[in-house]
Amino acid sequence: MEKIGKGKNILPGSKFFSMALGEGQDEIAQRRIQEGNKEGHWIMLENIHLMPVWLLELEKILDAQKGDSSGNSEFRLFLSADPSKGVPISILDRSIKITNEPPAGLKNNMLRAW
């Protein structure tokens, strides 16, 4: 994702922000999303499945931004998660989903790991 961003002049630390969610990161993530929506940043939230309670708040934030015409069209929000029942369906419904499944067979799995 960083490589794609660099090609579009979205550089880490200036317009591209990545953070792993965990304890205490909810407020920072919320600020980043709000700033990103206004200024056209790309935000990557990793491991969202670790904070299922906060995902309900994320759902509200996204709903509010959906009706906000003042948002920047360059804004992108990327989410990563392990399979989890804690991720709200509405977040999944509005997302483009990409899965990364391990290759079949021990040999192919070892080659991928190498």
CATH of the domain at 50: 3.40.50.300
Distance CA(37)–CA(103), nearest Å, equals 37
* Structural domain containing residue 7: 2-113
The length of the chain is 114
The pair of three-digit structure tokens given for residue 14, joined into one six-digit string: 């200036």
Determine phi and psi for 2, rounding to 5 degrees.
-65, -35
Per the structure, the count of domains in the chain is 1
Tens of pLDDT, residue by residue, the chain (114 residues): 667 776 766 767 778 899 999 888 899 999 999 999 999 999 999 999 999 999 999 999 988 888 777 788 889 999 998 888 888 888 888 887 777 776 687 887 777 776
DSSP assignment letter at 78: E
DSSP assignment letter at 103: P
CB of 47 closer than 8 Å to CB of 82: yes
For position 20, what pLDDT does the model report?
92
